[in-house]
């Protein structure tokens, strides 16, 4: 067994955990407009549930508004309904060709609530990272028991895996710190 190849194969799982955390964190609302707030919102359109970014262009013309321009104007009503029924707590304004969302300023209480949610998302990412690490370690230990891997290579594999885990956790932590700073300053 080549433990370096195993770590290399699982590196994409670690990277996927960071990307997932980035999307989850990006969806947390700040006082600034951000297309990620609504991009993955499910819209019932033409008999199926589609993500908003699949049926419309989403932009932020200024720091307090999100502009949603569907490619098919018949989707306006479905988009408006999806936004109203979502947990965003925003009222969309439809002007016939687009949907505009105005982002209100956050209260101090709401900011703290979002910071708690942020910490929860970061912890979920860390749990996913630990699960990947445990899976790799089980495979390494199994290979060592079966004598497919020398004992010193198994020790080296554990150290290398921990380095990857530490690096991945650091990337997630940096994402969280940036978002928290953005939440508390906007």
At 99 the three-state DSSP class reads strand
For residue 38, the model assigns a pLDDT of: 85
For residue 45, the model assigns a pLDDT of: 85
Please answer whether residues 172 and 122 qualify as being in contact, where contact means their C-beta atoms are separated by less than 8 angstroms: yes
**Low-confidence spans in the chain with pLDDT less than 70:** 1, 186
Domain ranges of the chain: 3-26+107-185, 36-102
Q: What share of the chain is helix, strand, coil (3-state, %, to 5)?
A: 65, 15, 20
Distance from C-alpha of 15 to C-alpha of 104, rounded to nearest angstrom: 34
For residue 1, the model assigns a pLDDT of: 66
Q: Torsion angle of alpha carbons 135, 178, 183, 87, nearest 10°?
A: -40
- Tell me the whole-structure pTM to 2 decimals: 0.69
Token code pair at residue 19:
């990307």
Distance from C-alpha of 114 to C-alpha of 106, rounded to nearest angstrom: 10
Distance from C-alpha of 129 to C-alpha of 124, rounded to nearest angstrom: 9
CATH architecture entry for 36-102: 2-Layer Sandwich (3.30)
CATH architecture entry for 3-26+107-185: Orthogonal Bundle (1.10)
For residue 111, the model assigns a pLDDT of: 85
For residue 186, the model assigns a pLDDT of: 62
Q: Which residues pair with 57 in a beta bridge?
A: 69
Please answer whether residues 181 and 28 qualify as being in contact, where contact means their C-beta atoms are separated by less than 8 angstroms: no
Q: Which residues pair with 92 in a beta bridge?
A: none
Q: What is the pLDDT of residues 6-53, one digit of tens each?
A: 888 889 999 999 999 988 888 777 777 788 888 888 998 888 888 989
């Amino acid at each position: 067994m080549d433990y370096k190849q195993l770590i290399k194969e699982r590196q994409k799982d670690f990277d996927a955990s960071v990307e997932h955390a980035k999307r989850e964190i990006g969806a947390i609302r700040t006082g600034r407009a951000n297309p990620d707030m609504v991009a993955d919102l499910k819209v019932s359109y033409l008999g199926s549930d589609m993500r908003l970014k699949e049926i419309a262009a989403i932009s932020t013309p200024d720091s307090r508004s999100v502009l949603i321009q569907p490619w098919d104007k018949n989707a306006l009503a479905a988009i408006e309904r999806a936004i109203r029924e979502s947990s965003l707590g925003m009222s969309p304004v439809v002007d016939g060709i687009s949907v505009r969302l105005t982002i209100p300023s956050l209260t101090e209480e709401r900011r703290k609530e979002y910071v708690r949610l942020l910490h929860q998302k970061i912890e979920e990412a860390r749990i996913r990272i630990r699960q990947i690490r445990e899976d790799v370690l089980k495979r390494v230990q199994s290979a060592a028991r079966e004598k497919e891997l020398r004992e010193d290579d198994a020790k080296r594999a554990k150290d290398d895996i921990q380095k990857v885990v530490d690096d991945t956790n650091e990337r997630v932590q940096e994402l969280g710190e940036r978002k928290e700073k953005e939440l508390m300053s906007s």
